[in-house]
């Protein structure tokens, strides 16, 4: 007499196949969710000095380029040297405890050890100047820095993310949501009026070929 239906004879086989699939599935999930696409967004390391973009770039309205002097003319935006802070803090808040490390750095000449937030791997070629001069605003890649007390990565900076914009810009040029007038690149509040088309400074042709970004 048969207790179990015949179809259940296949059960061990099915279970085995399931187990064989489960392991790669777990590996894939771990690789996917813990890869930079997911883990880097939200990265917000503690900095040695409680410098606030919300105060300086937001409330005081200091332009990004006053401190990030490389952003229009070189691959790197650069984090400002202590001297830039002392342009003001030699006379502003001279006895603040929050600025003690800044004053020490100025006296000793030892740079402040700011912790890097946004970082591409070495095999990726990225140049700020070509983006900024093409009409891509800081806010597209860094979010509302002017509202942040502590800098936080808001975009994945992954290959898919780079390519999504490159494709859109190549196709839509000045009608792309990623392009604004060059005069507005550091303006965090600029918004395009509905169906406003921007005239890009040059015909835009961002690379989609591998060698464009992996040189
Ligand atoms: C253009 C002038 C200017 C520059 C440049 C500047 N700051 Fe400031 N900073 C200010 C002003 C104004 C305040 C607010 C003072 C107040 O609250 O009355 C301030 C406040 C601060 C505070 C808070 C101090 C406290 O006791 O609350 C810190 C920390 C600080 N700045 C760090 C920096 C650092 C680091 C740099 C360089 C990267 C820098 N600042 C560059 C003008 C400047
Ligand atoms: C008064 C100087 C000053 C101004 C103005 C300023 N920044 Fe910064 N910025 C800094 C300093 C100092 C750091 C490094 C410490 C930190 O991350 O908070 C920094 C860090 C950053 C970073 C992160 C760098 C990294 O390690 O990845 C970004 C992105 C950035 N700034 C964008 C902007 C943008 C966009 C604006 C204009 C809206 C701006 N900053 C205005 C001083 C400034
Ligand atoms: C097209 C995207 C994009 C735009 C637009 C952009 N950034 Fe960046 N930014 C990045 C990436 C990607 C990195 C990391 C670069 C690396 O690790 O090589 C970065 C890094 C930085 C850093 C860290 C220091 C450095 O130079 O690596 C600062 C500061 C910064 N950006 C400021 C700015 C400011 C200010 C603007 C606007 C004037 C701006 N960025 C516009 C993508 C962008
Ligand atoms: C928000 C839109 C946007 C994002 C995001 C973006 N780019 Fe671009 N990229 C552009 C535009 C616009 C140009 C300028 C094209 C031109 O001038 O023809 C460009 C040009 C380039 C170039 C050509 C520069 C040269 O010197 O030949 C490279 C390389 C590049 N991007 C790499 C990247 C990488 C890597 C990322 C991601 C980390 C990225 N881009 C993210 C819009 C973007
Ligand atoms: C617009 C710029 C851009 C182009 C074009 C591009 N890549 Fe990438 N690629 C990136 C960035 C940025 C990363 C780093 C991603 C990260 O760290 O999250 C990357 C990472 C990679 C990696 C490592 C992936 C990993 O999982 O670590 C490989 C492999 C790669 N790219 C191959 C290619 C090939 C092949 C092409 C052409 C079909 C190509 N890339 C075109 C920007 C680009």
Task: Please write the tens of the pLDDT for every residue from 74-87.
Answer: 999 999 999 999 99
Give the Cα separation of 136 and 162 in Å (integer). 12
The pLDDT of residue 208 is 97
Q: What's residue 25's pLDDT?
A: 59
Q: What is the pTM of this model?
A: 0.91
Cα distance between residue 128 and residue 79, in whole Å: 13
- The model's pLDDT over 137-173, given as tens digits with 9 standing for 90+, comes to 999 999 999 999 999 999 999 999 999 999 999 999 9
Protein residue with least CA distance to atom 8, ligand 5: 159
pLDDT band at 194 (very low <50, low <70, confident <90, very high): confident
Name the nearest CA neighbour of 148 among 121, 103, 118: 118
Query: Which residue has the CA at smallest separation from atom 27 of ligand 3?
Result: 76
| Nearest-angstrom CA–CA distance, 94 and 68 | 23
Tell me, using a 6 A CB cutoff, whether residue 168 lines ligand 4: no
- Domain ranges (residues) in the chain: 12-39, 53-79+114-213
Ligand 2: centre distance to CA 61 (Å)? 13
Query: pLDDT tens across 48-63, in order?
Result: 999 999 999 999 999 9
């Amino acid at each position: 007499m048969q207790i179990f239906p015949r179809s259940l004879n296949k059960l061990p086989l099915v279970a085995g196949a399931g187990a064989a699939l489960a392991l790669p599935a777990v590996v894939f999930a771990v690789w996917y969710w813990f890869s930079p696409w997911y883990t880097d967004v939200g990265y917000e390391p503690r900095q040695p000095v409680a410098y606030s973009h919300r105060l300086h770039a937001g409330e005081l309205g200091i332009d990004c380029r006053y401190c990030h002097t490389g952003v229009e003319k070189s691959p790197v935006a650069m984090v400002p040297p202590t001297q830039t802070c002392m342009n003001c803090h030699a006379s502003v808040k001279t006895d603040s405890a929050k600025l003690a490390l800044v004053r020490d750095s100025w006296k000793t000449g030892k740079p402040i050890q700011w912790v890097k937030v946004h970082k591409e791997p070495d095999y990726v070629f990225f140049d700020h100047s070509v983006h900024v001069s093409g009409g891509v605003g800081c806010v597209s890649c860094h979010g509302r820095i002017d509202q942040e007390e502590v800098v936080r990565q808001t975009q994945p900076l992954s290959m898919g993310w780079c390519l999504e914009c490159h494709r859109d810009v190549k196709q839509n040029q000045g009608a792309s949501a990623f392009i604004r007038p060059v005069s507005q690149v550091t303006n965090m509040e600029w918004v395009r009026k509905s169906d406003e088309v921007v005239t890009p400074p040059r015909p835009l042709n961002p690379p989609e070929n591998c060698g464009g970004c992996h040189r």
